[in-house]
């Protein structure tokens, strides 16, 4: 489509557009002018859009078929060409003849933010700011698999129908959510057409999965910071005293640990993992490189890169603190737990606040379930009752204590699964079939290998919930 005559067929008049905006038909009105002109004044219900190659690849394919699109520019020339291009992509695109100059109705002036970063969203949720309503625009099956807590599900195509809009509480700041921030952008456009201001979560759930939140566990003799990867529930730790720190089970983005440690007056000198993770990409290697720190990994697991190998009984010193290594197989064959100053135990994915690690991610469920029983009953539960247990995960149901997740050996003894005798325990653990973490085989390979992984791949690989636990219930 390129002759003027053909393009002319795509023209709508200001009267047509006015009528369309008043109707309930599925419609998107894109204003292609410079952002400052749009911000100064624009047609109510329109959104600012840039038609570049990224938009062609990411936004255009997400626009549901059957939605009428009207493009606006200064005078109806560039918008006509763009409408022609969009029609060739199968969209029902039109342009406003004569552009904004032909519009003889009211124009509005409005704040034109259309996106919110995952960090900004987290900060608003944490501070309970802004009366938010989170609208997840994925399909119901995607939504039921995992979601941001408190979000509601209205699939994108339904946002073009007025009845679905009634599900959105009035007078709140709407944030639209999807896997990578493309569908949610179209959703924000669809809501704007209906007079609802919405912000699209930039980078979507993949971006959300990379937000880290540090919380203080203690600042007594030793400082312990629990760092939560909020989208996944991964828990990692910065442990320090007298200016020096060790990081346990770091996740990406690795550079955040440097910042969190610095805020506590610490600098990172050592990095360790509890085990070869299957649900997230370990940032241990990169963090050790970044901070010029010593890297420690389990002697009982295979890694294709250089590190200091540690095993049962080894001691790692961090300033005046001592970390004693305990071999605690069961979730993986090489899992290690770290007992800090005989008071705190970092249990990785072996013992959680409300459950125990799953033994089936290495295809040796029965053998590992036996190990798990031995580890729990003959090693971890024999520690003094008041020992604080700091795991590598929590799940959606785990209640936080002032935003932190921990338990004690005393409380852990009350988990119903730990009341079972050996055979019943093994049977129960082996019989519990749970969906595996997404991409877990690929993640294990990455965590084993010496090949660097691009940061953008980390977010995509990790999208989804963590699934390392067998619930105690």
Q: How far is the CB of 275 from Fe ion (least distance, A)?
A: 6
Task: Considering the complex, state which of residue 79 and residue 447 has its C-beta at the smaller distance from Fe ion.
Answer: 447
Residue 300 Cβ vs Fe ion, minimum distance, rounded to whole Å: 15
Closest CB 235 distance from Fe ion, rounded Å? 11
CB of 307 to Fe ion, least distance (A): 18
Q: What region does 48 belong to: left with phi over 0, alpha with psi -120 to 50, or beta?
A: beta
- What is the rounded CA–CA span in Å between residue 438 and residue 444? 11
Report the interface residues with Fe ion, using CB under 5 A. Answer: 277, 349, 468
Q: Please, what is the minimum distance in Å from the beta carbon of residue 353 to Fe ion? A: 15
Nearer to Fe ion, 286 or 349 (CB): 349
Residue with Cβ nearer Fe ion (183 or 277): 277
Q: 451-473 burial string, b = 16+ CB within 10 Å, else e?
A: eebeeeebbebbbbbbbbbbbbe
- Cβ proximity to Fe ion, 349 vs 371, nearer residue: 349
Element housing 198 (H / E): strand 198-201
Q: What is the DSSP code (8-state) at residue 72?
A: E
State the minimum distance, in angstroms, from the CB of residue 356 to Fe ion: 12
Helix (H, G, I), strand (E, B) or coil at 10: coil
What is the C-alpha to C-alpha distance for residues 400 and 413, in angstroms, rounded to an integer? 19
- For 148, 366, 376, 395, the CA distances from 373, given in Å and listed in that order, are 34, 11, 5, 22
Select from 58, 43, 99 the least CA-distant residue to 76: 99
Residue 203 or 348 with smaller CB distance to Fe ion: 348
d(CA 403, CA 150): 16
Residue for token pair 């002697």: 299
CB nearer Fe ion, residue 45 or residue 437: 437
Pick the closer one to Fe ion by CB: 180 or 277: 277
Tell the smallest beta-carbon distance from residue 277 to Fe ion (Å). 5
Give CA–CA dist 196/169, Å, rounded.
11
Distance in angstroms (rounded) separating the CA atoms of residues 72 and 99: 5
Distances in Å between the Cα of 108 and the Cα atoms of 37, 46, 48 are: 11, 10, 13
Nearer to Fe ion, 92 or 349 (CB): 349
- From the CB of 350, what's the least distance to Fe ion, in Å? 9
Nearer of residues 277 and 285 to Fe ion, judged by Cβ:
277
Structure tokens at 72: 């606006």
Say how many C-beta atoms besides its own lie within 10 A of residue 7's C-beta: 19
Which CB, 45 or 334, lies closer to Fe ion? 334
CA 70 to CA 459: how far, in whole Å? 34
Residue with the shortest CB distance to Fe ion: 349
Distance (Å) of CA 462 to CA 32, 228, 277: 35, 14, 12
Within a 10 A sphere around the Cβ of 30, how many other Cβ atoms?
24
Secondary structure (3-state) at 95: strand
Output the smallest distance, CB 358 to Fe ion, in A.
8
Q: Tell the smallest beta-carbon distance from residue 334 to Fe ion (Å).
A: 11
């Amino acid at each position: 489509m390129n002759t003027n005559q053909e393009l002319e067929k795509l023209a709508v008049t200001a009267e047509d557009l006015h009528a369309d905006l008043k109707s309930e038909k599925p419609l998107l009105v894109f204003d292609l002018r410079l952002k400052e002109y749009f911000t100064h004044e624009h047609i109510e219900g329109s959104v600012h859009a840039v038609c570049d190659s990224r938009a062609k690849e990411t936004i255009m394919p997400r626009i549901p078929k059957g939605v009428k699109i009207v493009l606006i520019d200064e005078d109806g020339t560039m918008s006509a060409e763009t409408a022609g291009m969009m029609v060739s992509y199968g969209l029902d695109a039109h342009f406003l003849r004569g552009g904004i100059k032909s519009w003889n109705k009211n124009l509005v002036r409005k704040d034109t933010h259309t996106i919110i970063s995952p960090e900004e969203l987290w900060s608003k949720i944490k501070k309970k700011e802004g009366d938010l309503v989170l609208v997840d625009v994925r399909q119901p099956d995607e939504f039921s698999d995992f979601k941001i807590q408190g979000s509601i599900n209205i699939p994108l195509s339904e946002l073009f129908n007025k009845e679905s809009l009634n599900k959105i509480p009035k007078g709140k700041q709407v944030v639209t959510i999807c896997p990578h921030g493309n569908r949610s952008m179209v959703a924000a456009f669809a809501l704007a057409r209906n007079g609802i201001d919405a912000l699209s979560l930039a980078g979507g759930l993949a971006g959300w999965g990379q937000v880290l939140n540090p919380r203080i566990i203690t600042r007594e003799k030793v400082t312990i910071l629990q760092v939560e990867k909020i989208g996944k529930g991964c828990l990692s730790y910065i442990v320090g005293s007298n200016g020096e720190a060790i990081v346990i089970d770091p996740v990406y983005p690795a550079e955040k640990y440097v910042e969190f440690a610095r805020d506590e007056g610490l600098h990172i000198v050592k990095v360790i993992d509890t085990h070869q993770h299957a649900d997230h990409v370990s940032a241990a290697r990169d963090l050790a490189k970044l901070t010029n720190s010593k890297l420690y990994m389990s002697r009982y697991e295979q890694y294709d890169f250089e590190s200091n190998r540690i095993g049962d009984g080894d001691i790692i010193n961090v300033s005046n603190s001592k970390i004693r290594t305990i071999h605690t197989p069961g979730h993986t064959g090489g899992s290690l737990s770290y007992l800090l100053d005989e008071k705190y135990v970092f249990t990785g994915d072996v013992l959680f606040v409300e459950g125990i690690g799953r033994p089936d991610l290495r295809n040796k469920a029965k053998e590992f379930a036996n190990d798990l029983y031995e580890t729990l009953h003959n090693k971890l539960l024999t520690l003094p009752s008041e020992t604080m247990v700091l795991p590598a995960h929590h799940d959606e149901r785990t209640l936080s204590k002032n935003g932190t997740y921990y338990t004690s050996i005393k409380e852990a003894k009350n988990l119903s699964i730990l009341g079972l005798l050996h055979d019943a325990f093994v049977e129960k653990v082996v019989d519990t079939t749970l969906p595996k973490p997404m991409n877990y085989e690929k993640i294990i390979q990455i965590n084993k290998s010496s090949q660097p992984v691009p940061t953008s791949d980390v977010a995509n690989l990790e999208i989804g919930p963590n699934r390392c636990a067998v619930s105690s219930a």
